[in-house]
Amino acid sequence: MKRFLTALLTVLMVISLGACSQPKTDAFKGGTFTGTAKGFAGDITVDVTIDDNKTITDVKVVEHTETEDIGGKALETLAKDVVALNSSQVDTVTTATVTSLAFIEAVNAAITAAGLNPEDFVPGEVGAVEKTDETLDVDIVIIGAGGAGMAAGITAAQEGKSVIIVEKAPMVGGNTSRATGGMNAAGSHYQEEAGIEDSVELFVEDTIKGGHGLNNPDLVQVMAENSADAIVWLDSIGAELSNVG
């Protein structure tokens, strides 16, 4: 009987030790995982690096066709936010909502490719940004850092005024930075250098025709008469004008 009990205990110990030596099947192996989603202008592809502790340590946008000044800047901000929060549950960027949502979808796809659930990555605590009140004494405050706002600010500063431009978006330029067409101007030095004959009269005629006669002719006349000077002013502040012809 004692021999039987001894043999039984020995077998149980072997089974127990064997069970303890089995590797854990739920251990996560870190690595870099890829995800893709449809953005505003095309696919956005990201590489998300997750360590063995399931912490997001890096996010790289490896491919996108978003506008550099808006979507591109938003992607840079979002990538940093995901790492800081260890989560894809980040705020979208103003003026780049479609790009932001696509980026988040791509990150979630990468997390899923790692065999993990994006919803398990709950945002961590981030220190609150300290807000301070400050009084600034200036001559002019301009709301909006789009093309018109910046042009107004530059002109005012050139006239010796102190200026502040306030912008809600994380980047400047507004719709001007998205413009893909040309700037109409009659009698500019670029036309003269290219041997192109143009005139204020032709500019007015084309504009009225394009507007189906609904334009305000007085405003069109003012625009056409000052169009060449606008080009000269842009040259003076170092604006780069490319050829779209």
Q: What pLDDT sits at residue 6?
A: 52
Query: From CA 38, how far away is CA 103, in angstroms rounded?
Result: 8
**Confidence at residue 21, expressed as pLDDT on a 0 to 100 scale:** 47
Crossing angle, helix 217-236 and helix 200-210, to 10 degrees?
Answer: 120
CB neighbours of 166 closer than 8 A, spacing ≥ 6? 141, 142, 143, 144, 145
Q: What is the pLDDT of residues 44-61, one digit of tens each?
A: 999 999 999 999 999 999
Whole-Å CA distances, 152 to 93, 145, 211 = 26, 10, 27
- What is the C-alpha separation between 172 and 188, in angstroms, rounded? 27
CB atoms within 10 A of CB 227: 18
pLDDT at 9: 47
The pLDDT mean for the chain works out to 86
Token pair recorded at residue 107: 């990150």
Quick one: pLDDT band at residue 14, thresholds 50, 70, 90?
Answer: very low
Taking the C-alpha atoms of residue 81 and residue 98, their distance in angstroms, rounded to an integer, is 17
Q: Which residue has the higher pLDDT, 26 or 221?
A: 221
pLDDT at 76: 94
pLDDT in tens, 124-171: 765 556 778 999 999 999 999 988 999 999 999 999 999 999 998 777
Q: List the domain boundaries for the chain.
A: 31-119, 137-179, 181-245
Q: Which amino acid is at 112?
A: T
Which helix (H) or strand (E) is 99 found in, with range?
helix 97-113
The fold of 31-119 is Sufe protein. Chain: A (3.90.1010)
Which residues are registered as beta bridge partners of 49? Answer: 32, 58
pLDDT at 16 over 90: no
* pLDDT per residue as tens digits for the range 104-114: 999 999 999 99
CB burial readout 85-107, b (16+ within 10 A) else e: bbbbbbeebebbeebbebbbbbb
Kindly tell me the burial class for residue 209, based on how many C-beta atoms sit within 10 Å of its own C-beta (0-12, 13-18, 19 or more): exposed
Confidence (pTM): 0.59
